[in-house]
């Protein structure tokens, strides 16, 4: 058994919307051109292949002992249809080989996007299978386009298929996992994942994120699910600037007792790295990502025989995306769990020590 397997497939690089190209449908294209023309700076599609290239380059130049890399696979129609409607899937598949806008919130596809999205969802499934088959203690699906904004009938927020939801549904339908816990720590609320499992008592969705009106504007404290699933949706909205202490406090005081009540068979993580301060949304450090990973490892060991799977979501600053991903993989590979410090405290202590003698009585 490997400590951790990272799953990666070059086919996910084929998703490359180019806003200089002509997009269909024409009406949405004109509307988006109007929106972009009102910006003070030129806009480029933020979710681009360079995100995964940056991760790969960092792992090559700074390898992690014990990390194994494996390829991905394509999700089947049946696997995708567990969380998306057949009419939505038909619409997406009809765009294979085309440039198209899917939504006015700037979700777009290029000629290679549909296959990239199929591979992203299938690779998330492969990561889950590796853990349940006990080939790995934990796994990380390094994929794009991301997925947690994708709803059953709608693409949103750069997301086409909801990768973590597809993987969770597969774990339950095909792999014998009765209860799935999904933890989403991306800076943006996972509205699509919440929507898919809103009334499902066998999937607990815990989402910590920057509060509305930050995109997508959902994830309010009172959103707790409905019907038999009431109480299995848990939202923790945070103000801008919240960081390691807030995240870890939420994990200790909300996620831990919720997990003890729910007792999952597997834990999936929608891991976005835009909570890092380089992405200007929140204030989580690399040590913070490592500490959160260690916390989830302990929960997985306690409740579900260590089964823990990460699925890449957002993160658009290439440095913090790559270094945050590496921080998670390092802990999963068996390296020590870091203890994050409050930002600046160590530097102030060092400065105080440096200056102290100047103020002492002679």
Kindly report, residue by residue over 141-172, the tens digit of the pLDDT. Answer: 999 999 999 999 999 999 999 999 999 999 99
Question: In this structure, how many other beta carbons lie within 10 angstroms of the beta carbon of residue 111?
Answer: 16
Annotation says 84 is catalytic: no
Tell me how many degrees the CA angle 268-129-2 measures, rounded to the nearest 5: 90
Tokens describing residue 80: 């995708």
Q: Which of 48, 149, 170, 188 is catalytic?
A: 149
Residue 97 CA to residue 83 CA, distance in Å, equals: 24
Question: How confident is the model over 102-132, as pLDDT tens digits?
Answer: 988 879 999 999 999 999 999 999 999 999 9
Question: How confident is the model over 7-55, as pLDDT tens digits?
Answer: 999 999 999 999 999 999 999 999 999 998 999 888 899 999 999 999 9
Nearest-10 crossing angle of helices 113-132, 163-174: 40
Mean pLDDT of 297-321: 98
Question: How confident is the model over 234-290, as pLDDT tens digits?
Answer: 999 999 999 999 999 999 999 999 999 999 999 999 999 999 999 989 999 999 999
Q: Quote the pLDDT of residue 28.
A: 93
Say if residue 80's pLDDT is above 80. yes
**Distance between alpha carbon 165 and the CA centroid of its chain, in Å?**
11
Query: 153 has which bridge partners?
Result: none
Q: Quote the pLDDT of residue 112.
A: 98
Q: At residue 345, what are phi and psi to the nearest 5 degrees?
A: -65, -45
Q: Quote the pLDDT of residue 282.
A: 97
Compare 199 and 105 and report the one with higher pLDDT. 199
- Nearest C-alpha neighbor of 148 from the set 197, 89, 86, 93: 197
Say if residue 330's pLDDT is above 70. yes
Q: How far is CA 333 from CA 1, 113, 222, 288, in A?
A: 12, 31, 37, 17
Cβ pair 55, 323 in contact under 8 A: no
Entry field: residues in the chain: 362
| Burial class, 281, CB count within 10 angstroms (exposed 0-12 / middle 13-18 / buried 19+) | buried
345 pLDDT band, cuts 50/70/90, is confident
Q: Walk across the sheet containing 136-141 and list its strands.
A: 67-70, 2-7, 136-141, 308-312, 266-271, 180-184, 203-210, 233-238
Q: At residue 101, what are phi and psi to the nearest 5 degrees?
A: -85, 135
Q: Quote the pLDDT of residue 103.
A: 87
Cβ pair 198, 233 in contact under 8 A: yes
DSSP string for 53-119:
HHHHHHHHHS--TTEEEE---PPPHHHHHTTS-HHHHHHHHTTTT--EE--TT--EE-TTHHHHHHH
362 pLDDT band, cuts 50/70/90, is low
Q: Quote the pLDDT of residue 359.
A: 84
190: which residues sit within 8 A by CB, 6+ positions away?
Answer: 148, 149, 164, 182, 184, 205, 207, 209, 219, 270, 313
Mean pLDDT is lowest, of 112-116, 190-194, 342-346, for 342-346
Question: How confident is the model over 62-74, as pLDDT tens digits?
Answer: 999 999 999 999 9
Quick one: DSSP state of residue 251? I
Q: Enter the pTM of the model.
A: 0.95
- Nearest C-alpha neighbor of 47 from the set 305, 314, 276, 229: 314
């Amino acid at each position: 058994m490997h400590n951790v397997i990272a799953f990666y497939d070059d086919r996910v690089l084929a998703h490359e919307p180019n806003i200089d190209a002509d997009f269909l449908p024409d009406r949405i294209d004109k509307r988006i051109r109007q929106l972009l023309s009102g910006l003070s700076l030129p806009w480029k599609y933020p979710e681009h292949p360079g995100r995964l290239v940056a991760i790969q380059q960092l792992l090559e130049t700074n390898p992690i002992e014990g990390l194994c890399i494996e390829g991905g696979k394509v999700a089947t129609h049946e696997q995708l249809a567990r969380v998306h409607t057949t009419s939505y899937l038909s619409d997406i598949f009809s765009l294979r080989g085309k440039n198209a806008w899917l939504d006015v919130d700037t979700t777009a596809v290029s000629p290679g996007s549909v296959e990239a999205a199929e591979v992203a969802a299938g690779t998330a499934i492969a990561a889950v299978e590796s853990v349940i088959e006990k080939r790995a203690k934990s796994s990380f699906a390094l994929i794009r386009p991301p997925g947690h904004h994708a709803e059953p009938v709608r693409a949103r927020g750069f997301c086409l298929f909801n990768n973590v939801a597809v993987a969770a549904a597969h774990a339950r339908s095909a792999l014998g996992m009765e209860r799935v816990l999904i933890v989403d720590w991306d800076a943006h609320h996972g509205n699509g994942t919440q929507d898919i499992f809103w009334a499902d008592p066998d999937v607990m969705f815990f989402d910590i994120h920057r509060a509305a009106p930050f995109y997508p504007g959902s994830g309010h404290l009172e959103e707790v699910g409905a019907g038999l699933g009431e109480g299995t949706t848990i939202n923790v909205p945070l103000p801008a600037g919240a960081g390691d202490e807030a995240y870890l406090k939420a994990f200790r005081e909300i996620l831990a007792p919720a997990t003890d009540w729910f007792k999952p068979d597997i834990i999936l993580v929608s891991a976005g790295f835009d909570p890092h301060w380089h992405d200007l949304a929140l204030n989580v450090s690399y040590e913070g990502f490592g500490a959160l990973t260690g916390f989830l490892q302990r929960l997985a060991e306690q409740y579900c025989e260590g089964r823990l799977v990460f699925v890449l979501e957002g993160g658009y600053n290439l440095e913090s995306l790559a270094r945050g991903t590496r921080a998670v993989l390092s802990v999963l590979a068996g390296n020590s769990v870091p203890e994050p410090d409050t930002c600046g405290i160590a530097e102030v202590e060092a400065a105080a020590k440096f200056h102290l003698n100047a103020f002492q009585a002679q």
